[in-house]
């Protein structure tokens, strides 16, 4: 095998590049019935007429006759039937589309939610996948389905919209066509039954299709469209002037909380888009959030992340300082937060810490329910009980001392109790202890005894101080404890990563990598892990050793091919029981990590997701490192064997050529001497010389073949004008060419070859020698070169007897000769050498008989991009 075959084949490299993304064209309308589907199908028909392969993936005609007529002649994909709880649901068959790979696919109703069990929860995600695989898509949607406009539309029309499309899908669509119809015309169409069947139409006209609604929706649609065009113009201007209109310093930071999450995210998204600014969303976790609030806040972050924001959970007690530090770190200049969250204190603190940070208060007309405030009641039950008992115990202990100690000092015991209860059980029980303590102290020890009446007003101070101590201590302890827990978790994650990195650093086998990642992820998330790795550069992914998790190899493959995560918490197959993470290394995806966790909620935590991502990045880099170690070792072996082969050939060449040099040289001298002396032995000497020359040619060919066949041919490519190559070939043969007429046919503007000059000359020498050998003396041999758009052809044509009968390709195999028993010398190595040389250059060689008689040998080499001369010689 030749070493050159180990080199990456450029075609294969090209094929491995991602295919260009398909183009998305959206048909955008203000309301149902404006004719989006019709317009879309009409354009699809045009494309089909142009000869494009068009497939209709999904269209609902709603029984509209004219729309149905537009479908005629188009290829409609059958819908996939999904069984779900004894119901059969129709679904878009995305795999069938991918398999058929049409140039254009029509998929109506972009905002549609897919049936449970589909690959993606939303249809727009299906469309994304189709675009990513290089298929153009036509799709349609209405303005009320835009995520950022959902609330506004809901408020204007009073109709709750449940299916939405993220704005980035709309913004990033390659083309959007607005299908517009004035409200009156639409109402006419509705009345005429062209939109819905009559009974539905009546209901629709009463609710959604009120004229006021339609005007408002139309305005929204037109404005959104104008925004898009405006954005395009800005983008164009930015490109043409190459000055960013918005520096990164205008980035936004959104503060979310559990109560005003998704509403604020949407508002902020609209703003960010208006500003064309990147944005971040953070949630301040001060430990005071209930489980519901926590999950609501995390959901809001997830939503923001889907809309393109960078998200993070910040934990700590000083919101102003945390926020300012984060904004500084990421160079954010605009802080947005829901108005109720911005207490006067927070605003003051922000003003003080960062006067340059603009503050934006978002209105919150959240329809989301106010969650219950005391959800941890249950958990703290033991604390309440213990606190009450403690107060009773203190009272019992204090009563004998009553009269011995001043009441002021008795209060100290209670204060101790409040503090203990705060430290031990947190805020609630501490407050209870404070209240109970005040009550008991008042009842038993303050004049008048056994009554809650207070004669001395100064005891009120005692009560207030005790209450404050209890609450403040409780709050402090609770938040300290929360921060400590958070810090512990983060520290654990960091340590995990650190130790894992250290262990991966010394891992030498993929199996070790699998074992290490399993161990660490099990320790930190309690999950199990299995790696799926491709055995070599291409091929099926195989699971590493480890517990069989029952993962789906099709999902693994999908995740590997797209280099996108799938499974729990992602947009792809979120109902799958596992998280599939692609191992993306700098050069390529190295495999897939499948993670099964006992609690799916664990993966919703940004911290844990980040841990998973960091682990996958580490694993991927380790795998890449292992890959390159293997490559380096292989290269070392190849280099070593090449060196060995080279020295062996050099020694052989030396040992053969030295005696041959002496032999041919001495024979020549002898022949000349004898000829000068007119000796009768001169003829023998001439034979001796001719035969020794023949042996030396043979040896040259044999050594050449050995070198080529042994592999290790290092091509020393260089730019080579065909004319010079042909000239060199003729010069190399010297006087041997004198017996024939040589015609050279090279166009003036023939491009240069990029090849090893010596090898190519050897090839042409062999072909020319062949032509000289097999055509009669005095005939013409033509050496020519010409170029097509992709190749350069070099050919040697003679006027001899032509090729022997049989397959011409046979001629190029080792030790084949045209005629087995021939007086013409040569071992038939010549053409085999030619073939090998052509092959290592990525070219082909062929032979054919000419109709006019004679043979033609042609070499076809790929045409490379010609080098440029960086100055004009005439100017110098």
Using CB under 8 A, list all residues that contact another protein. 646, 649-650, 653-654, 657-666, 668-669, 672-673, 693, 696, 703, 707, 716, 718-721, 723-724, 726-728, 730-732, 742, 744, 746, 752, 756-758, 761, 867, 869, 873-874, 876
Burial class (CB in 10 A: 0-12, 13-18, 19+), 200: middle
Closer residue to another protein (CB): 439 or 732: 732
d(CA 195, CA 214): 14
Residue 766 contacts residue 806 (beta carbons within 8 Å): no
Burial class (CB in 10 A: 0-12, 13-18, 19+), 400: exposed
d(CA 422, CA 434): 10
Closer residue to another protein (CB): 324 or 752: 752
* Cβ at position 685, least distance to another protein in Å: 13
* Cβ at position 871, least distance to another protein in Å: 9
* Cβ at position 684, least distance to another protein in Å: 18
* Cβ at position 725, least distance to another protein in Å: 8
Residue 237 CB: number of other CB atoms within 10 A?
11
The tokens for 269 are 């998204």
Q: CA 77, 83, 84: angle at the middle one, nearest 5?
A: 125
Residue 508 CB: number of other CB atoms within 10 A?
10
* Cβ at position 870, least distance to another protein in Å: 9
Closer residue to another protein (CB): 275 or 649: 649
Closer residue to another protein (CB): 222 or 710: 710
Q: How far is CA 164 from the centre of its chain?
A: 25
d(CA 56, CA 35): 17
Closer residue to another protein (CB): 312 or 720: 720
* Cβ at position 716, least distance to another protein in Å: 7
Residue 422 contacts residue 477 (beta carbons within 8 Å): yes
d(CA 311, CA 294): 15
* Cβ at position 655, least distance to another protein in Å: 9
Give the bridge partners for 781, in sequence order.
742
* Cβ at position 715, least distance to another protein in Å: 12
Give the bridge partners for 785, in sequence order.
794
Closer residue to another protein (CB): 602 or 767: 767
d(CA 261, CA 828): 82
Closer residue to another protein (CB): 511 or 642: 642
d(CA 617, CA 593): 10
Strands 136-142 and 310-315: unpaired
* Cβ at position 646, least distance to another protein in Å: 7
> Please, how many CA atoms are within 13 Å of residue 741, restricted to the half-sphere of its CB?
5
d(CA 31, CA 145): 10
Give the bridge partners for 362, in sequence order.
338
d(CA 37, CA 109): 9
* Cβ at position 729, least distance to another protein in Å: 9
* Cβ at position 617, least distance to another protein in Å: 39
Q: How far is CA 657 from the centre of its chain?
A: 58
Q: Which residues contact 21 (CB under 8 A, 6 or more apart)?
A: 131, 132, 134
* Cβ at position 795, least distance to another protein in Å: 15
Residue 785: φ, ψ to 5°: -140, 140
* Cβ at position 221, least distance to another protein in Å: 59
Q: What is the largest CA-CA distance in the chain?
A: 158
* Cβ at position 800, least distance to another protein in Å: 22
DSSP state letter for 856: E
Identify the H or E element spanning 238: helix 211-241
Asked if residue 448 has a cis previous peptide bond (ω within 30° of 0), the answer is yes
Burial class (CB in 10 A: 0-12, 13-18, 19+), 406: exposed
Closer residue to another protein (CB): 280 or 707: 707
Residue pointed to by tokens 């009842």: 443
Give the bridge partners for 315, in sequence order.
285
* Cβ at position 736, least distance to another protein in Å: 13
d(CA 750, CA 106): 48
Closer residue to another protein (CB): 480 or 647: 647
Closer residue to another protein (CB): 588 or 672: 672
The tokens for 281 are 């969303």
Closer residue to another protein (CB): 756 or 799: 756
Angle, to 10 degrees, between the axis of helix 606-676 and the axis of helix 459-506? 20
Closer residue to another protein (CB): 506 or 869: 869
Closer residue to another protein (CB): 376 or 666: 666
Closer residue to another protein (CB): 152 or 750: 750
* Cβ at position 8, least distance to another protein in Å: 23
Closer residue to another protein (CB): 453 or 662: 662
d(CA 398, CA 435): 17
* Cβ at position 707, least distance to another protein in Å: 6
Residue 221 contacts residue 178 (beta carbons within 8 Å): yes
Residue 172 CB: number of other CB atoms within 10 A?
11
User: Rounded to 10 degrees, what is the CA torsion of 548, 549, 555, 556?
Assistant: -50
Closer residue to another protein (CB): 305 or 649: 649
Closer residue to another protein (CB): 353 or 864: 864
């Amino acid at each position: 095998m030749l070493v050159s075959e180990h080199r990456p084949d450029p075609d294969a490299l090209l094929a491995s590049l991602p295919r260009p993304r398909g183009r998305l064209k959206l048909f955008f309308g203000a309301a149902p019935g404006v004719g989006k589907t019709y317009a879309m199908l009409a354009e699809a028909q045009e494309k089909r007429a142009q000869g494009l392969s068009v497939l209709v993936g999904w269209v609902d005609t709603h029984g509209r006759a004219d729309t149905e007529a537009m479908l005629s002649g188009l290829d409609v994909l059958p819908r996939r039937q999904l069984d779900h709880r004894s119901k059969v649901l129709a679904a878009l068959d995305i795999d069938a589309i991918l398999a058929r790979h049409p140039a254009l696919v029509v998929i109506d109703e972009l905002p549609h939610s897919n049936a449970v069990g589909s690959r993606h929860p939303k249809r727009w995600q299906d469309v994304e996948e189709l675009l990513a695989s290089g298929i153009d898509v036509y799709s349609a949607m209405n303005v009320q389905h835009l995520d950022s406009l959902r609330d506004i539309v809901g408020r204007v029309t009073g109709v709750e919209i449940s299916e939405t499309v993220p704005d980035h899908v709309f913004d990033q669509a390659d083309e959007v066509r607005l299908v517009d119809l004035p409200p009156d015309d639409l109402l006419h169409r509705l009345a005429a039954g062209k939109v819905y069947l009559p009974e539905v139409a009546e209901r629709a006209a009463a609710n959604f299709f009120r004229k006021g609604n339609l005007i408002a929706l139309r305005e929204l649609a037109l404005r959104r469209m104008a925004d898009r065009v405006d954005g395009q113009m800005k983008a164009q201007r930015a490109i043409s002037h190459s000055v960013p209109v918005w520096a990164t310093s205008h980035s936004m930071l959104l503060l979310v909380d559990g109560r005003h999450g998704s509403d604020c995210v949407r508002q902020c998204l609209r703003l960010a888009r208006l500003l064309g600014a990147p944005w971040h969303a953070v949630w301040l976790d001060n430990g005071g959030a209930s489980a519901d609030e926590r999950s609501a806040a995390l959901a809001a972050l997830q939503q923001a992340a889907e809309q393109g924001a960078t998200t993070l959970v910040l934990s700590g007690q000083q919101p102003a300082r945390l926020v300012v530090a984060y904004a500084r770190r990421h160079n954010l200049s605009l802080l947005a937060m829901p108005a109720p969250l911005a207490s006067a204190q927070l605003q003051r603190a922000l003003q003080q810490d960062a006067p340059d940070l603009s503050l934006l208060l978002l209105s919150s007309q959240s329809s989301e329910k106010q969650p219950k405030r005391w959800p941890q009641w249950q958990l703290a039950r033991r604390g309440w009980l213990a606190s009450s008992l403690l107060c009773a115990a203190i009272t019992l202990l204090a009563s004998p001392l009553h009269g011995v100690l001043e009441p002021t000092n008795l209060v100290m015991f209670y204060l101790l109790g409040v503090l203990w209860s705060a430290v031990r059980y947190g805020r609630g029980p501490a407050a209870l202890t404070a209240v109970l303590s005040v009550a008991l102290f008042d009842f038993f020890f303050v004049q008048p005894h056994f009554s809650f009446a207070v004669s001395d007003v100064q005891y009120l101070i005692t009560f207030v101080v005790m209450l404050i101590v209890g609450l403040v201590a409780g709050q402090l302890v609770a938040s300290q404890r929360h921060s400590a827990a958070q810090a512990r978790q983060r520290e654990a994650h960091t340590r995990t990563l650190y130790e894992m990195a250290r262990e991966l650093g010394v891992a030498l086998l993929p199996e070790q990598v699998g074992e290490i990642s399993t161990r660490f992820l099990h320790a930190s998330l309690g999950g199990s892990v299995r790696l799926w790795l491709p055995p070599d550069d291409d091929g099926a992914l195989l699971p590493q050793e480890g517990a069989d998790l029952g993962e789906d190899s099709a999902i693994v493959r999908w995740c590997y091919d797209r280099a996108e995560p799938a499974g729990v918490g992602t947009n792809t197959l979120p109902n799958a029981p596992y998280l599939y993470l692609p191992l993306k290394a700098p050069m390529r995806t190295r495999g897939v990590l499948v993670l099964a966790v006992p609690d799916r909620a664990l993966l919703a935590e940004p911290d844990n997701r980040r841990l998973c991502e960091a682990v996958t990045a580490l694993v991927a880099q380790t795998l890449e490192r292992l890959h390159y170690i293997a490559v380096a070792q292989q290269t070392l072996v190849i280099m070593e064997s090449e060196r060995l082969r080279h020295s062996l050939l050099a020694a052989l060449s030396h040992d053969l050529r030295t005696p041959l040099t002496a032999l041919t040289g001495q024979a020549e001298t002898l022949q000349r001497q004898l000829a000068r002396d007119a000796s009768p032995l001169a003829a023998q000497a001439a034979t001796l010389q001719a035969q020794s020359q023949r042996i030396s040619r043979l040896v040259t060919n044999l050594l050449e073949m050995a070198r080529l066949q042994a592999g290790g041919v290092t091509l020393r490519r260089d730019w080579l004008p065909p004319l010079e190559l042909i000239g060199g070939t003729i010069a190399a043969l010297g006087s041997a060419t004198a017996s024939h007429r040589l015609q050279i046919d090279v166009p003036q503007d023939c491009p240069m070859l990029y090849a090893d000059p010596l090898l190519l000359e050897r090839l042409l020498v062999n072909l020319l020698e062949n032509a000289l050998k097999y055509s009669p003396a005095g005939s013409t041999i033509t050496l020519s070169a010409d170029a097509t758009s992709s190749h350069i052809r070099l050919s040697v044509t003679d006027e001899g007897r032509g090729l022997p009968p049989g397959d011409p390709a046979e001629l190029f195999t080792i030790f084949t000769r045209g005629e087995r028993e021939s007086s013409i010398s040569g071992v038939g190595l010549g053409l085999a050498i030619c073939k090998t040389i052509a092959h290592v250059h990525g070219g082909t060689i062929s032979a054919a008989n000419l109709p006019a008689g004679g043979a033609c040998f042609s070499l076809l080499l790929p045409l490379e991009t010609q080098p440029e001369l960086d100055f004009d010689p005439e100017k110098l």
